Amino acid sequence: MTSTTPVTTGYLTVPDGRLYYEVRGSGPLLALVGAPMDSGPFVPAAELLASDYTVLTPDPRGHGKSTLNDPNQDSTPELRADDLARLITDLDVGPAIVIGSSGGAITGLALALHHPGVVSTLIAHEPPLRELLDDRDALRAEAEDVISTYSSVDAEAGVRKFFAMTGLAMPEPVMRQMFANPRNPEAVASESFFYEHEFRGTAGWEPDLEGLRTTPTRVIIGIGDTSTDKFCDRTSRKLAAALGIEPELFPGGHGGFAEDPEAFVKRVREVLRDN
Q: What is the pLDDT of residues 225-265, one digit of tens each?
A: 999 999 999 999 999 999 999 999 999 999 999 999 999 99
Asked whether residue 127 falls in the same domain as residue 150, the answer is: no
Query: Mean pLDDT throughout 73-87?
Result: 98
For 5-46, the pLDDT digits (tens) are: 899 999 999 999 999 999 999 999 999 999 999 999 999 999
* Structural domain ending residue among the three candidates 199, 219, 250: 199
Give the per-residue SS3 of 164-220: HHHCCCCCHHHHHHHCCCCCCHHHHHHHHHHHHHCHHHHHCCCCCHHHHHHCCCEEE
What CATH number is attached to the domain comprising 121? 3.40.50.1820
23 & 34 share domain: yes
Quick one: 79 and 213 in the same domain?
A: yes
Tell me the C-alpha distance between 244 and 206, whole Å: 17
Residue 245 counted as domain residue? yes
Report angle CA 239, 240, 245 to the nearest 5 degrees. 150
pLDDT digits (tens, 9 = 90+) for 84-108: 999 999 999 989 999 999 999 999 9
**Region for 55 from its dihedrals, namely left if φ exceeds 0, alpha if ψ lies in -120 to 50, beta otherwise:** beta
Residue 275 scores a pLDDT above 80: no
Do both 190 and 227 map to the same domain? no
- What total number of domains does the chain contain? 2
Is 229 a domain residue?
Answer: yes
Do 228 and 241 share a structural domain?
yes
The per-residue pLDDT for 145 is 97
Residue numbers of the domain that contains 192: 136-199
Per-position b or e across 61-95, b if 16+ CB within 10 A of its CB: bbbbbbbbeeeeebbbbbbbbbbbbbbbeebeebb
pLDDT in tens, 166-215: 988 777 887 888 888 888 899 999 999 999 999 999 999 999 999 999 99
